[in-house]
Amino acid sequence: MNVLFISLLDFNSLEERNIYTDLLREFRKYNHKIYAISPIERRNCGESKIIHEENCIILKLRIGNIQKTNIFEKGISTITIGNQLVKGIRKYFSDVKFDLVIYPTPPITIVDAIDFVKKRDNAKSYLLLKDIFPQNAVDLGMMSKSGVKGFIYKSFRQKEKKLYKISDYIGCMSQANVDYLLKHNSEINPKIVEICPNSVDIIDMSVDFETSKEIRKKYDLPLDKKIFIYGGNLGKPQGIDFMIECLKKQESNKSIFFLIVGDGTEFTKIEKYILDDQPSNVRLMKSLPKKDYDKVVAACDIGMIFLDHRFTIPNFPSRLLSYIQAKIPVLAVTDCNTDIGEVIVNNNIGCWCESNNVDNFTSALESILQLENANFDKLAKEYSTKNSYEIIMNSVINRENRVL
């Protein structure tokens, strides 16, 4: 089977480790031929090119700047990416007939490229729904359903609905995502919607006490404190203002230490807080290479997840997977609409509190320090790429249940 994968993820090899390359390697393991389109943003000064690997061809397609740029440039680049993808497919993959196209959101504006491949090759299509846009932008006050911004919202909403319409199957991250999608898009046939969670190659990344000490020494981390780590994007979706409130509340707690690793539009807010307040138990680091980051996570005691409390859409951050691999408990500080807290608590791997009350954060922090006998085995199996591969293939090849 010829599989086309389209995303905004910038990667140069399937040997890199993330939720998408891990899944593609699983497809390759079963002798599917992989074709992937991975963008090069204009800021990186690269030109479009082809990378050949074993049973895989990666098209590095030059596009406009979408990430870590101003909202105007991001908007223009996002709107035009569909047409750029079509041109890239025509130029580089004109002689390839695709059997299956897999694509995550964001962005929804890839819809024209998906439509093109389906019509040209009669390909089956599988949407990995990782983001519900434009509603997430409305939740954070970046977009409105009325006024001038309302026109923009309606335009994107039409693109979103078209993407759902041309998708033969939609894989959601959790049950809350399934419920939300069907509730707010009644035209979608429930039979094409299923749970296909974020997944990775399940590798035991945990370390013993001595190894943990060596890693902490290397990165100048305290040896005598419980270390809480947050790793990932530092943007508006993470509710950074509330995160800073929580950190301030714990400044006098000498038994714990907070390590923030990542980058994003709100990075400078945390940087300014540290410069102004000079907390002795908080450290901010720029993003690390994946291999190094995994080691640091394993040397910490508790992983943290933050989401803005205003969200009405049920996000399910993939950073949970790094914590599961490292076998460290998870403190989820989120809105009430995601079910990630429910998953964490029900599987006894951590604690949850809503991200709008600092006192609740303090209580949850104290509770997780008392957590014992956390069991990661069940979740490790559920969030494995093998599981995701089987879910996708069961839908794609089972023609009797296929609903078009």
Q: Is 388 left (phi over 0), alpha (psi -120 to 50) or beta?
A: alpha
> Kind and range of the H or E element at 87?
helix 71-92
- Residues 37, 87: contact at Cβ < 8 Å? no
CA distance 42 to 66: 9
Q: What pLDDT score does 165 carry? A: 95
pLDDT digits (tens, 9 = 90+) for 184-225: 999 999 999 999 999 999 889 999 999 999 999 999 999 999
Strand partners, 3: 34, 100
Cβ partners under 8 Å of residue 302, min gap 6: 226, 227, 228, 229, 328, 329, 330, 331, 350, 368, 369
DSSP state, 41?
E
CB atoms inside a 10 Å sphere around CB 13: 11
- In DSSP terms, 4 is beta-bridged to 35, 101
Count CA atoms within 13 Å of residue 356 on its CB side. Answer: 7
Q: What is the CA radius of gyration of the chain?
A: 21
DSSP class per residue in 169-222: EEEESSHHHHHHHHHH-TTS-GGGEEE----B--------HHHHHHHHHHTT--
Q: Strand 56-63 relative to strand 49-53: parallel, antiparallel, unpaired?
A: antiparallel
Q: How far apart, in Å, are the Cα atoms of 76 and each of 138, 140, 198?
A: 19, 20, 29
- Weakly modelled stretches of the chain, pLDDT under 50: 399-404
Helices (H) and strands (E) in the chain, counts: 15, 14
Q: How far is CA 301 from CA 163, 200, 202, 225, 261, in A?
A: 41, 21, 19, 9, 15
Give me the phi and psi of 287, to 5 degrees please.
-55, 140
> pLDDT tens, 122-144?
999 999 999 999 899 898 888 88
Asked if residues 374 and 189 have their Cβ atoms less than 8 Å apart, the reply is no
Write the DSSP string, 90-128. Answer: HHHSTT---SEEEEEES-GGGHHHHHHHHHHH--EEEEE
Phi, psi of 93 (to 5 degrees): -125, 35
Say whether 258 sits in a helix, a strand or coil: strand
- For residues 212 and 297, what is the distance between their CA atoms, to the nearest angstrom? 10
Residue 399, φ and ψ in degrees, nearest 5: -65, -30
Q: What is the predicted pLDDT for the residue at 75?
A: 63
pLDDT (0 to 100) of residue 43: 65
CA 248 remoteness from chain centre: 27
pLDDT score, position 402: 46
Helices (H), 222-289: 240-249, 267-277
Q: What is the pLDDT of residue 216?
A: 97
Position 64 scores a pLDDT of 63
pLDDT score recorded for residue 12:
92
How far is Cα 366 from Cα 25, in angstroms, rounded to an integer?
A: 40
Could you check whether the bond before residue 190 is cis, i.e. omega within 30 degrees of 0?
Answer: no
Kindly report the number of other CB atoms within 10 A of residue 188's CB atom. 16
